[in-house]
Amino acid sequence: MIVLITGASGFLGRAVAAEAVAAGHDVRTLQRRPSGVDGVTDFLGSITDADDVATAMEGVEGVIHLAAKVSLAGDPHAFHAVNVEGTQLVLAAAEAAGVSRFVQVSSPSVAHSGSALAGVGAEPASPEHARSEYARTKAQAELLALASDSDRMHVVAIRPHLVWGPGDTQLVGRIVDRARRGRLPLLNGGTALIDTTYVDNAASGIVAALHRADIAHGKAYVLTNGEPRPVADILAGICLASGVQPPRWSIPAAVGRTAGSLVERVWAVRPGADEPPMTRFLAEQLSTAHWFDQRDIREALDWSPAVSIDEGLRRLARHER
């Protein structure tokens, strides 16, 4: 199958592209920088540029749409331009090019209202309840994608939850960096159970969604390792694998949330180079349970994660050394 993967230069995108190549597909990628993945054809461009998208889409049968602005804070317009308008462009181009399978890579935050989630399925995306610009625009994008599901083009939305692994600068990089600088507190002792996803599992699940789009289409699925862990366990595991002292200090969750929203507001006025040290969204992510029912996705995609968290941490440690 000729497959177009957008955003293949990112941490997850590279893994997905490699997985698709390994599955025997003819893989093209679309993003501004070279993907660096062996065996793919890079189309350099922006998903916000209709011409770039149309060119890359020509003759394509399956699309995995990963490209997005991923960040915890920042300019709302920039989020909208990439995540909503960009997705609209990619969907329209895919329909025009006669694409039959479309995997929208989404995020569990599209349905996260801030309350604890324990063993829930994929609730409908809900932009009005989203807790960050990222989540709001990704929710809109997912709704657009699923609305495009039809007999001609089967659309599946996959929401991988907290993807991590070797070479990850987003989650692992930030955790390690902050832990090193002593700026990573635990909220309420870090006891909230969260689901995470080792990168190889996210990649194999997303490619499985492409293969099973004819069966799984029209729905969104949360994808995880299916091994919920307390936040502190995960942070400690990642820190230890990276040779950094795990966080030891804990602050009450309410304090974290207040501090987060305060910092967020200051950041909006005087944006710095880095992400803010704590956002309200992050505070909620780190202090409330969010783990998911994995029965549906495993059945629909006929897939299960191959790498356990413990094995993932071992691979991370090997990579960091």
Question: Residue 196 interacts with another protein (CB under 8 A)?
Answer: no
- For another protein, give the closer residue by CB, 11 or 291: 291
d(C-alpha 118, C-alpha 174), whole Å: 26
* Strand positions, DSSP E, 94-237: 101-105, 117-120, 154-160, 163-164, 186-187, 193-194, 197-198, 220-223, 229-230
3-state secondary structure of 2: strand
CB 46 within 8 Å of CB 33: no
CA distances from 214 to 125, 149, 201, 296 (A): 22, 11, 21, 15
Region at 60 (left for phi over 0; alpha for psi -120 to 50; beta for the rest): beta
Q: Does 190 bind another protein (CB under 8 A)?
A: yes
Please name the amino acid found at residue 55: T
The answer to whether residue 167 forms part of the interface with another protein (CB under 8 A) is no
Q: Within 270-299, which residues bind another protein (CB under 8 A)?
A: 287-289, 291, 293-295
* Near another protein by CB under 8 A: residue from 229, 263, 264, 279: 229
- Identify which of residues 91 and 236 has a Cβ nearer to another protein in the complex: 236
Nearer to another protein, 64 or 236 (CB): 236
By C-beta, is 98 or 119 nearer to another protein?
119
For residues 266 and 263, give the distance between their C-alpha atoms in angstroms, rounded to a whole number. Answer: 5
Q: Which of 100, 113, 126, 191 binds another protein (CB under 8 A)?
A: 191
User: Would you say how long the chain is, in residues?
Assistant: 321
Among 73, 192, 207, 220, the residue binding another protein under the rule CB under 8 A is 192
Cross-strand pairs, 186: 250
- Distance of alpha carbon 4 from alpha carbon 94, whole angstroms: 10
CB 191, min distance to another protein, A = 5
Q: Choose between 233 and 320: whose C-beta lies nearer to another protein.
A: 233
Clarify whether 221 is annotated catalytic.
no
Single out the residue of 193, 206, 220, 263 in contact with another protein (rule: CB under 8 A): 193
The interface with another protein within residues 72-131 (CB under 8 A) comprises 116, 118-120
For residues 63 and 145, the answer to whether their CB atoms sit within 8 Å is no
Interface residue with another protein, options 233, 261, 277, 317 (CB under 8 A): 233
Q: Is residue 238 within the footprint of another protein (CB under 8 A)?
A: no
Residues annotated as catalytic are 134
By CB under 8 A, name the binding residues for another protein. 116, 118-120, 187-193, 227-230, 232-233, 236-237, 240, 246, 252-253, 287-289, 291, 293-295
